[in-house]
Structure 1
Amino acid sequence: MGSTSDKIKGMANEAAGNVKQAVGKAVGNPSLEVEGAVQERKGEAQQTLGKAKDAVKKGVDSV
């Protein structure tokens, strides 16, 4: 997977996780809140991976 797709999927997972957390809190469903938090962290990790791939690519391109 390329760096851009990692970052896009990460942003989508992070947004979906935030929505799940809000809905879980609103309806009093702690498991949905936790599921949302996990998905948000997954999204953050995907974005970090995409940024790392960009950094590596820039380093290789400058050699």
Structure 2
Amino acid sequence: RLWDRLPDGCICLLDRHFASFYNLAKLAQRGIGVVTRLHQRRNAQRLIRQGRRLGPEGHWGHIT
């Protein structure tokens, strides 16, 4: 129900517990961008190697 209240095209800041593939895919279908901490089951080191360093504890990556 929460997702229905978000306007299309907005950017949503989420807790890592909402970062499931299902949630990200549903939001992407509506053009909603997402900023979240990495899901606890993702391999952070693998994504860091593929991404770009932003600062001492920040990295940018694209998950498809």
Measured against the shorter chain, the TM-score band is under 0.3
Give the TM-score, by structure 2 length.
0.19
**Over alpha carbons, which structure has the higher Rg?**
1
Give the structure with the larger helix fraction. Answer: 1
Higher-RCO chain (CA-CA 8 Å, sequence separation at least 6): 1
If each structure's strand is expressed as a fraction of its own residues, which one has the higher value?
2
